[in-house]
Structure 1
Amino acid sequence: MLKFIFFVSFLIPLCFLSNYWLLVVLLFLGSFLYLVFGISLSFVSYLGYYLGSDVLSYGLILLSFWICGLMLLSSGSIYFTSNYIMLFLFMNVVLLLFLILSFSTSSLFMFYLFFESSLIPTFFMILGWGYQPERVQAGVYLLFYTLFASLPLLLSIFNVYFSINTLNMFLYFGTFSSGFGIYVYLSLILAFLVKLPMFIFHLWLPKAHVEAPIAGSMILAGVLLKLGGYGLLRVFSLIYFLGVSFNFIFIGLSLFGGVLVSLVCLRQVDLKSLIAYSSVAHMGIVLGGLMTMTHWGMSGSYTLMIAHGLCSSGMFCLANISYERLSSRSLMINKGLINLMPSMSLWWFLLCSSNMAAPPTLNLLGEISLFNSVISWGWYSILGISLLSFFSAGYTLYLYSYTQHGKIFSLLYSCNSGFLREYLLLFLHWLPLNLYILSVAVLFDWI
């Protein structure tokens, strides 16, 4: 594990050479190296004082490498127009380093430290390269939501250490959880629910997505939302008995919130805001499956987290491609794009169909297993699941039909058919989304 951390660390001096393409190629090289040499992590391995990883870490570290490479590939406009490109590249690499350290640590306290550290580069990316003056408010929302929820988590980590004398996440067992009270249960999961985000704690997400640059939106949707799910998977062994008693509250709230947010999506007129709210709806299904604490629920939520990271990131790229040409994210202006960029319309179709879990995408596998786990937990959840699934298809069709069809509103649209960099970017989102379904054994048998 240490070799990959050193690999990313040595990319930091390269940022100040402002060599954009070399950094992109090296990040993709790192993801391929991790794909090949990290596959041996089928069980807990490389266990040292603080570093240790298993199959949960493997998938999410690989996703972090891949999304960070795609982030730089998508930020061509920043590279060609910004005076602070070296600082932008530095923020990307530092964020990747914090994410790898978060997913590969075996200590609960070190995980907390790097979990919160990933907020700092994200905050600077929103504040420094955001689109509008409201980015200050979005950054403050992100900062205060995270800090408000993270301090109880720190106190409960100390409580865990005093109770069981270890913070090693690989040594926890369900028998420890009988000694903890409701305060530890709530404070251990609150910070992760904010980062996931759960309905009620989700208000920072649409603001941060709308104001962030394309790289910020991609890393938020692609990896940072998955930190919450990963943290829940790690701490559930501590609070297993309390979860059996109290998890029904969060399952009901996540299903109800998912349906409500899906209805909110149908009223959006901002492209990025619609995709951001759809992330909240999908993470509602993930949280519902996680809280059932079944094998199907855990495996399905892990699968959908990886699938959503690729799919949602690709949709933000599509929204940014339209924004760079029309200088607007409004659905009232982004109309009739199939007349001007028919080849780009194909990618809209492929990623929208992935978002509504059409076969053969990884989203379908994740959603089927999550539906199984939630319905087997309680048959009365069928209503929430069916409404959520229906409205998910509804707002995705609304997004696709509204942007691609209709009369062309804006004459400012540059009638080029897109750059090679943009098509490569979209292809590299879509390809793993449809190939990873072949590795079902990795996702379900090892977890």
Structure 2
Amino acid sequence: MLNFLFSIFFMVFMLFFRSGWELVLNFFFVLFFIFFFTKSLGLGLMDMGSGLSVDMYGYMLISLCFWIFPLMMLASLTMSNYGSYNKLFVFMVVFLLLVLYLVFSCQDLMLFYISFEASLIPIFIMVFGWGYQPERLQAGLYMLFYTLMASMPLLLLILYNVGVSQSGDFFMLGKLSEEKNFYVYIYFVMAFLVKLPVFFFHLWLPKAHVEAPVSGSMVLAAILLKLGGYGLFKVIGLVVHEQVSAVWLWPVFGLFGSGVLGVLSIRQFDMKALIAYSSVVHMGMVMSGLMSMSLVGISGAFIVMVGHGLCSSGLFCLVNVIYERIGSRSILLGSGMLMLMPSMALWWFLLLSSNMSAPPSLNLLGEINLMISIVGMSFYMMIFLSMILFFSGGYNLYLYSSVQHGKTFWGSVSFSCGRLSEYHLFFLHWVPLNYMILCGYVFSYLCSLSKI
């Protein structure tokens, strides 16, 4: 599977052609279909050579990367007219995909950390270079320092492990996994909690989403948040003694934060900020499922991560459609869209219903698995889950009713009902989100047979 790595690398040379944007866009789709349909999922590792291998969880997230990245470029077609800067943008996209491919496939701790942190560089440049407001500088610095400061203890632990065990492999962690030290456990987990992010560590995310371009918001919500969940999955088994003793702490922490942020989401007036807070609500449940260390919880967490990646990415595209026409993300100024863009209201309904885990979306299957694992730890968790489900439906209905109904902003009545490329983009988000539930059942069955 190193051929995929080299294929991504040589996509950079396509930029020298006159139609480099279109070549890269089409090649992304080709890579997805080759990767998705020619590599069997299996129950074990797929060896790639050179210390790289992919398990079923990495396989899911790499497939998500290959699908989301061409959709990012479709959503940014207006950027292709910006002269030479469009090639810089495509270069950042290709570089980010290369780094993410390494994160989801490497088995070396040091390479994992370097790739994990290198993913900040292209998204940081996207926010700084193609952001909308002057506040993008503050948002970029928030994101940079939050993630870097939380990751420094993880780097020290990795260096210590390499010195003690003379190996940086995930499966050869030496004495570090035997140390029953709560601080070692917290240092391991902290970097991924900030990246996920969960409540108390989430302040950088709404700022980054609000100021990022549509492509930056899509890759942040769909892929980069999943780095935290994937990292948690990789390290929770390393300090299993402390994980078992603190297994009750994380669901309470994650579900309480998700409930509070569900209330805050209903009070938002910025459409992007509301979707960003809803992402933190979902990630709180994902963290609770991962920390349960059960087969059902981990499989449900990964299913929700894939479903949320498709759903939130589509919602940010919908917000961008309104922003390009009225120049504002305000719910008040964007109201009455049912009169101005009646065909677009269908896609708002379909994606927001999927965001609240309505059938047959992939989120429904994942959240059922998460609820089973969380309630299995303590029945009292049902209190938090009920609150989250109630407010999740509340802020999704609030966003739909506020944007589609209400008084029309009459200064924007002259724009069209939408371009064909925009409807195509929403179709490519919604179809896998709702038809992959069949694959989700297969994945849950494979998880029940495999050993985590």
TM over 0.5: yes
- 1:176 deviates by 7.0
Give the AA of the match of 1:357: S
Deviations 1:9-43 (A, max 9, x none): 01112134352222111101111111012224542
- The answer on whether the counterparts of 2:165 and 2:172 sit within 8 Å (CA) in structure 1 is no
Q: Is the 8 A contact 2:349 2:400 kept in 1?
A: yes
Deviations 1:52-92 (A, max 9, x none): 11101100001011111100010012223465111011101
Provide the residue aligned with 1:88 in structure 2: 89
Task: Find out whether 1:239 has 2:239 as its counterpart.
Answer: yes
Return the offset for 1:383: 0.6
The question of whether the paired residues in 2 share the 8 Å contact of 1:38 and 1:58 is answered with no
> Which residue is 1:61 aligned to?
62
The alpha-carbon distance between structure 1 residues 326 and 83, as it changes in their structure 2 partners (threshold 3 A), is farther
Q: How does 1:193-208 map to 2 (within 5 A)?
A: 193-208=193-208
Task: Give CA deviations for 1:389-426 in whole Å, capped at 9, x if unaligned.
Answer: 11001000000010001121232244312111111110
Which range is displaced more, 429-438 or 9-18? 9-18
Residue 270 of structure 1, CA deviation: 0.4
Gapped runs of 5+ residues in structure 2? 448-452
Instruction: State how 1:206-355 maps to structure 2 within 5 Å.
Output: 206-355=206-355
| In 2, Cα distance between equivalents of 1:172 and 1:293 | 19
Letter in 2 for 1:63: L
CA distance, structure 2, for counterparts of residue 386 and residue 159 of structure 1: 43
8 Å Cα contact 1:311/1:355 also seen in 2: yes
Partners of 2:159 and 2:112 lie apart in 1 by 13
What amino acid sits opposite 1:189 in the alignment?
V
User: Which amino acid in structure 2 is aligned with residue 29 of structure 1?
Assistant: V
Equivalence for 1:31: 32
Q: How many residues align?
A: 446
| Partner residue, 1:135 | 136
Contact 2:161–2:176 (CA<8 Å) still a contact in 1?
no
Q: In the superposition, relative to structure 1, how do residues 172 and 376 fare at CA in structure 2: closer, same or farther (>3 Å)?
A: farther
Q: Which residue of 1 aligns with 2:380?
A: 380
Q: Look up the equivalent residue of 1:110 and give its one-letter code.
A: L
TM score, norm. by length of structure 1? 0.96
Q: Distance in 1 between matches of 2:240 and 2:416?
A: 56
Is 1:98 the equivalent of 2:99?
yes
Letter in 1 for 2:101: I
List per-residue Cα deviations over 1:329-377 (Å, max 9, x = no partner): 0001001111111111000000000000000000000111101111111
Question: How far is the alpha carbon of 1:441 from its aligned partner?
Answer: 4.4
User: Conserved in 1, the CA contact under 8 Å of 2:262 and 2:395?
Assistant: yes
Tell whether the 8 Å contact from 1:109 to 1:167 is kept in structure 2 after alignment: yes
Contact map agreement 1:196 1:229 (CA 8 A) in 2: yes
**How many percent of aligned residue pairs carry the same amino acid?**
49
Contact 1:172 1:237 in 2 (8 A): no
Q: Which amino acid aligns with 1:167?
A: G
Structure 1, residues 124-183: CA drift from partner, whole Å, max 9, x if none? 00000000000000000011001101110011112333454433224569x973324112
Structure 1 residues 307 and 389: alpha-carbon distance in aligned structure 2, compared to 1, 3 A threshold: same
Q: How does 1:367-446 map to 2 (within 5 A)?
A: 367-446=367-446
Q: What is residue 450 of structure 2 aligned with on the other side?
A: none
Cα gap change, 1:6 to 1:443, in 2 (>3 Å): same
Q: Is the 8 A contact 2:179 2:239 kept in 1?
A: no
Instruction: Give the whole-Å Cα distance in 2 for the aligned partners of 1:386 and 1:365.
Output: 17
Instruction: Supply the AA of the counterpart residue of 2:389.
Output: S
Matches of 1:339 and 1:384, distance apart in 2:
38
Moved more, 391-400 or 41-50: 41-50
Partner of residue 15, structure 1:
15
Q: Is the CA contact 1:194–1:201 (under 8 Å) kept in the aligned structure 2? A: yes
CA contact (8 A) 2:375 2:382 kept: yes
